[in-house]
Amino acid sequence: MKSTVIQFPGSNRDRDMIAALTKINGEAPSLVWHTDTEIPATDLIVVPGGFSYGDYLRSGAIAARSPVMAEIAKRAEQGVRVLGVCNGFQILTEAGLLPGALMRNAGIRFVCTNVKLKVENADTVFTNQYSRGEIIPCPVAHHDGNYFADSTTLKQIEDNGQVAFRYAEETNPNGSVNDIAGITNKTGNILGMMPHPENLIEADHGGDAGRALFTSALNIVANEAA
């Protein structure tokens, strides 16, 4: 499968994402600049982390109105998988591709730490190589990761099984409602998450628990030897 990474002015986790995708997929992703209005044929579009446009106005707000976003929305509509990590998650909510919003961390401070994630839904295209209820470690690094949705939206998200990951073992670092760390859209082909699975793909990272997210999303059959 082919992957694509979108780059905005202020993206800074794009290189980590490119390295992870290249390593796991055996092929470098296409790179698309935010002003581009065309995206090459691809199966997975990744909106990486960073501080697009310096987080001006609101995190992800300006990036969400970039020319490339209309094309991402169109591809997502056609069923292409879209993954947004950290600032990418903020951008996807600001663009209206995912419900809710990411607000300033409840503790006000930037958090850079390791959390525990519970795989809440293992039936999504992004999580099918995890088991439901599995607890995995994952790094986070953000200032605006406090997930919020109004009670009606929240109920829909929960009832539809759109919560992919929840902070577990009291490691919620930002005050997110219902400990939500990652959600999908209703059809399940868009995932946004604050934690950084791309930073946990090999032993030298201190573990490779993030790898299965990419092998799931890229339909790579798990290889015991890898």
Partner 1 sequence: MIKARVTVTLKNGVLDPQGKAIKGGLGALGFEGVESVRQGKVFDLSVAGDDAKAAEKSISNMCEKLLANTVIENYSVEIL
Q: Is 103 in the site for partner 1 (CB under 8 A)?
A: yes
Note if 205 is an active site residue: no
Q: Of the ranges 47-55, 79-87, 92-100, 112-120, which one interacts with partner 1 (CB under 8 A)?
A: 92-100
- State in angstroms the smallest separation of the CB of 180 from partner 1: 14
**Total residues interacting with partner 1, rule: CB under 8 A:** 20
b/e code 85-121 from CB counts within 10 Å (16+ = b): bbbbbbbbbbbebbbbbbbebeeeeeeeeebbbbbbb
SS (H, E, C) 144-198: CCEEECCHHHHHHHHHCCCEEEEEECCCCCCCCHHHEEEEECCCCCEEEECCCHH
- State in angstroms the smallest separation of the CB of 65 from partner 1: 6
Task: Pick between residue 100 and residue 182 the one whose CB is nearest to partner 1.
Answer: 100
Asked if residues 3 and 30 have their Cβ atoms less than 8 Å apart, the reply is yes
Note if 86 is an active site residue: yes
Q: Which of 39, 148, 161, 205 binds partner 1 (CB under 8 A)?
A: 148
End-to-end CA distance of the chain: 18
- State in angstroms the smallest separation of the CB of 58 from partner 1: 6
Q: Which of 149, 163, 168, 217 binds partner 1 (CB under 8 A)?
A: 149
Residue numbers 49-88 binding partner 1 by CB under 8 A: 57-58, 61, 65
